[in-house]
Amino acid sequence: MAESPESLQVLRYDAAAASSIKKTIWRLANKLGSKKIKLMNFCGTHEWTTVHFGLRSLMPPNVELVAGPGCPVCVTPSYYIEQAIKLSMDGVRVFSFGDAFKLPSLRRVKGARSLEDAKALGGNVEVVYSFLDAVKKASKDGKDSVFLGIGFETTTPSYSIPLYGGHVPENLYFMSVLRLTPPAASYAIEAALERGVTPVQGIIAPGHVSTITGAKPWDEMARRFGIPAVVSGFEPLDLLMSIAMLLKMIWEGEARVVIEYKRLVSWEGNRYVQEVNSRVFSVEDAAWRGLGFIPESGLELKGSYAAHDAFKEFGVKRLSAEEWSYDLPAACKCADITLGLAKPTDCPLFKRVCMPEHPIGPCMVSLEGTCAVWARFGGGGLAEEIAKEVGV
């Protein structure tokens, strides 16, 4: 076996392979006639690959690739960012991932609109690579700390395994804003149906989320909505193959899931993590930024693990459905973009006022935020051009 990760590079980019798959895609799209086919991804990294490698420009005119809720940073309610800012200003050390550090809140807290601001204003904020790093630091210095626990299913084990194993020191508290992908995906598909826009006809299911959940939830969704799903990898050839597979299933009227990303994803997923998660977390209704409450879409610490609950320890209230209010800046279209109902170029602020260096809305922050991806790689009018080609 060749030395890897280099072996993975075979899927990176191969002009001949890409052009052959492109032919297959066009052939299938042709069979489907002129009606618009909308395929939705649910992962920021899929959107990154799509834009970075210009995959939209390879699509036939009737195939439209749209981005759904794919980035856990973008959907973290402003309220929780504000609470984290407040804690840091009160002297509690707040650990955060790099992109949540820059995430703008709606309201200023003691002059700060992000954890980054808070730090500049004397707040106690520390950016770490992972929860494990925070565990080590907090164990060593014994200081009261909070970890801003953002993430989808993929990020859950980095928290749940140290918690379950009893490796987290007493002075480290966890503020869970963990969110689950399949409920949000259903929500996005339903939103399109309700608004009467072109319905989603195929699901490009997130490869790394599915490493944890398995392909099963996507199969349930495929059957429920009567549309096919493909669990896809993240290299350009993975995505092209997945698109071809989806079109073939659409043409044959199949509504089930196929795993393209077999090198990592199984039907059942990571049973070990599923088991540990089920002991550490309970599934609750949860707020998504700009969207509101989605049933059974969030995770909270439960049982004895609640001893690490930052909400309890610091008396921070959890948002309730009644208290939640729309939490995006005026004119920001992140909500519709997250649902695949709008594209970044529809926003009047896109690249005029709102830029990766100076984000106004949350989708411009994380590397995987749809606006950030378009701004970084769709520059020079290319984004508009691509959009025109796709006809959105």
Partner 1 sequence: MCWGVPARVVEIREYTAIVDFGGGSTREVVLAANGIKEGDLVMVHAGAIIGRISEEEILSSLELYKEMATSLADSEERREIEEYIQRYKQLLGVGHK
**Site residues, partner 1 (CB under 8 A):** 1-2, 4-5, 7-8, 10-11, 14, 16-17, 20-21, 23-24, 27-28, 44-45, 71-73, 97-100, 129-133, 150-152, 154-155, 157-158, 161-162, 165, 167, 207-208, 211-212, 233-234, 238, 241, 244-245, 248, 258, 260-265, 270-273, 366-368
Binding site for ligand SF4 (CB under 6 A): 43-45, 70-71, 152, 154, 206, 208-209, 332-334, 337, 344, 347, 349-350, 354, 360-361, 363-364, 368, 371
The binder of 202, among ligand SF4, partner 1, none, by C-beta within 5 to 8 A per type, is none
Helical pair 382-390 and 370-377, crossing angle rounded to 10 deg: 110
Q: Quick one: 151 or 169, whose CB is closer to partner 1?
A: 151
Minimum CB separation from ligand SF4 for residue 368, in Å?
5
- Inter-residue contact 189 to 40 (CB < 8 Å): yes
Minimum CB separation from ligand SF4 for residue 333, in Å?
4
Alpha-carbon radius of gyration of the chain: 21
DSSP letter, residue 199: P
Q: Quick one: 49 or 345, whose CB is closer to partner 1?
A: 49
Gap between the Cα atoms of 212 and 285, Å rounded = 20
- Ranges of beta strands (E only) in the chain are 37-41, 63-67, 93-96, 125-127, 145-151, 172-178, 200-206, 229-232, 257-259, 281-288, 292-301
Q: Quick one: 130 or 282, whose CB is closer to partner 1?
A: 130
Which of these, 244, 237, 277, lies nearest to 258 by C-alpha position?
244
Sheet of strand 172-178, all strands in order from the earlier edge strand to the far edge: 125-127, 93-96, 145-151, 172-178
The binder of 300, among ligand SF4, partner 1, none, by C-beta within 5 to 8 A per type, is none
CA distances, 378 to each of 22, 159, 357 (Å): 21, 34, 16
Q: Quick one: 38 or 343, whose CB is closer to ligand SF4?
A: 343
The binder of 360, among partner 1, ligand SF4, none, by C-beta within 5 to 8 A per type, is ligand SF4
Instruction: Check whether the bond before 104 is cis (ω within 30° of 0).
Output: no
Gap between the Cα atoms of 43 and 68, Å rounded = 7
Minimum CB separation from partner 1 for residue 377, in Å?
15
Minimum CB separation from ligand SF4 for residue 166, in Å?
26
